[in-house]
Amino acid sequence: MEEPSFLTSYRRTKNEAPPYFVNRLPIQCRYEYQMPRDVLQKELRKSLELIQRMAISDSLSSHTGCVNTLDWHEDGRHLLSGSDDHSLIIWDTIQQGAAAPFTIKTEHQGNIFSAKFLHQPDAFVSASGDGLVIRAQLAEGLVQQRPFKCHTGTTYRVLPLVDDAASFISCSEDSTVRLFDVRQEYSNCKERPGCPHSLLVNMEKAVSAMALNPARPFDLAIGCSDSTITLYDRRKMDKALNRIRLQTVKNMPRRITSLQYDRRGSQLLANVLAEKIQLLDLRVGQQLEMGTAKKLQDAKELLPSDAMPIKRLRLRGDWSDTGPQSRPGQRPAAANAAAPSSSSRFMVEISDLMTTWMRNQMTVSQPPAVAPTPSPAAAPAVVAPRRTPLVPTTDRSGHGGRNDSAIEDLLASTHAAAAQQKAPENMVSLKPLVQYSGHRSSRTMIKEACFWDDGYIMSGSDCGRIFIWHRASGRLLNVKEGDAHVVNCLQPHPFDFLLATSGIDYDVKLWRPILEEADFDEDAAQSIVDVNNQMLEETRDTVTVPALAVVQILRQMAARRNQQAQPTVNPAQAEAESSDSQEEL
């Protein structure tokens, strides 16, 4: 079989000068610098004017589902994408018209959430919602796929090891982080879920984010669903270097959706569900005293009963609170056209019905407040039971719904679980160096935040926009519309002034500074920020449920209604009627 065109172009150009974007800048930006092109390119990436002139220059369309992951190859020419359509695509971003994208139909049965090149254009690894991890290799025009079925839950991230091209790391909802080495015998394991051989560490909490330190490749950061980040040296996984609990609103446990070290390895960027993005200075964290977790736990126990509000339910597939046109308090009917569809009206009615029913169930089952024994150091107080989420705010599909159908999860205890969650004693509370706000991140668990050069921070948002902040101050510098619903992925080019983004739309968008002048409007941006802040409060505690859960709720509601409709029979009267019936017989 003929070699894929993208490999041919790679072999032809890998020893040539990379195609720097400076040659394609608008005429007014072509400066006659007497410096090497790579130095010029680095200087251009620092330009705020060019950042504010960025716009969509190309749209790469071939996927038939949401595009959940992007990765640039180190050659700067090829881009890897993975999608809900279970396929991977390798794009040649230089010869888009001349070279057709190379599509790989994978063995994944779930949405692909992460895909990475393995430091060569003909080998890559991917992970999906069904827990499957696949290493693919191109050989003589054919794609050889090697599956790893060790995970028992959704696999969110895969990371290739810089120091070992044959190994990669994955993390999962099943609380495990695994290290795969294709040279080992267990690499052929296909039917052993929960396989102990690849286990690197069990975090005892769902793991949805990881990062490797580019300055010290053995340093591994692991982000979990309880707002914690654990730092390890991969050579000594028996003991953590540090455990950090992020500061969140009301100390609520929140899922970490992405982690990234800066290029010096001294700072860590964390994107947290329904919270601000946080930049952590790890050098400060190493100087903090350990054992502050108990203070956090004590503070959490003093939360008022309304600190964890009753959740509102949302049907999976309802994206009415996302996109550039979404507004606070807006229902699906208002978000759509003037004449809403019957399906939109149905989703509104069902959502309201389920929410009312869930509130009633929680009211009935709500235990009385418990008055603890007062201590001499504290005034007498009544501590109400704390409530935990009925189900995670977002789901194992990555887009805001749960794959499991157990209605018991929806009706889980609203007070006991939180009381039982005790933080490890060696946890530190690390105050963020800088926080970045104005965006909205509550609908998806794969939303990324990243560095642009050394001076800027970027993130996607549930409002369908890209947000860019000044790294040192946290000041918002640009807002760009990038998706009809949600922007999840942002991947800066390794050296060019080029950004790749994706989200709920079925395409990949490429951004370059092609506008004639900067178009950042601070007043318009502030209006967007105000709307996002209001909607974040509305959706912070909203739960997305799948259709099967809706069916189960409706069945239980119907059963309860039938029980209530049946007339109450006096036991004495029933016994008398039974005696009369026996006498007649």
Residue-level pLDDT at 346: 61
CB within 8 Å of 358: residues ≥ 6 apart: 310, 311, 313, 390, 410, 411, 553
Residue-level pLDDT at 348: 61
Label residues 539-565 b or e (16+ Cβ within 10 Å = b): bbbbbbbbebbbebbeeebeeeeeeee
Q: Is 373 part of any domain?
A: no
Closest CA to 486 of 471, 468, 506, 470: 506
Q: Is 317 part of any domain?
A: yes
Q: Is 539 part of any domain?
A: yes
Q: Is 391 part of any domain?
A: yes
Q: Is 446 part of any domain?
A: no
Residue-level pLDDT at 93: 92
> Could you tell me if 344 and 336 are in contact, meaning their C-beta atoms sit under 8 angstroms apart?
yes
SS3 state of residue 96: coil
Amino acid at 473: S
> Could you tell me if 547 and 315 are in contact, meaning their C-beta atoms sit under 8 angstroms apart?
yes
Q: Is 319 part of any domain?
A: yes
Give the whole-angstrom CA distance, residue 20 versus residue 29. 14
CB within 8 Å of 321: residues ≥ 6 apart: 314, 330, 335, 443, 462, 535, 538, 539, 542
> Could you tell me if 423 and 488 are in contact, meaning their C-beta atoms sit under 8 angstroms apart?
no
Strand partners, 260: 269
Closest CA to 267 of 1, 88, 471, 19: 471
Give the whole-angstrom CA distance, residue 100 versus residue 374. 72
Closest CA to 42 of 21, 70, 58: 21
| Distances, alpha carbon 130 to alpha carbons 148, 149, 270, 348, in Å | 11, 9, 25, 30
Q: Is 416 part of any domain?
A: yes
SS3 state of residue 496: coil
Q: Which regions of the chain are under pLDDT 50?
A: 1, 10-33, 289-308, 310, 332-340, 367-397, 400-423, 581-585
**Phi, then psi, of 317 in degrees rounded to 5:** 95, -10
Q: Is 158 part of any domain?
A: no
Amino acid at 491: Q
Closest CA to 314 of 154, 443, 456: 443
pLDDT digits over 124-143, tens only?
Answer: 999 999 999 999 999 887 89
**Phi, then psi, of 139 in degrees rounded to 5:** -140, 115
- The number of domains in the chain is 1
Amino acid at 276: K
SS3 state of residue 126: strand
> Could you tell me if 499 and 490 are in contact, meaning their C-beta atoms sit under 8 angstroms apart?
yes
> Could you tell me if 333 and 345 are in contact, meaning their C-beta atoms sit under 8 angstroms apart?
yes
SS3 state of residue 470: strand
Tell me the residue range of the domain where 400 lies: 310-325+385-421+529-562
Sign of the CA dihedral with 123 first, then 58, 70, and 24 last: positive
Give the whole-angstrom CA distance, residue 495 versus residue 17. 12
Q: Give me the residue label for tokens 């330190």.
A: 213
CB within 8 Å of 368: residues ≥ 6 apart: none
Helices (H), 213-312: 282-285, 293-301
What is the pLDDT of the chain when averaged over all its residues?
78
CB within 8 Å of 454: residues ≥ 6 apart: 46, 262, 263, 471
CB within 8 Å of 580: residues ≥ 6 apart: none
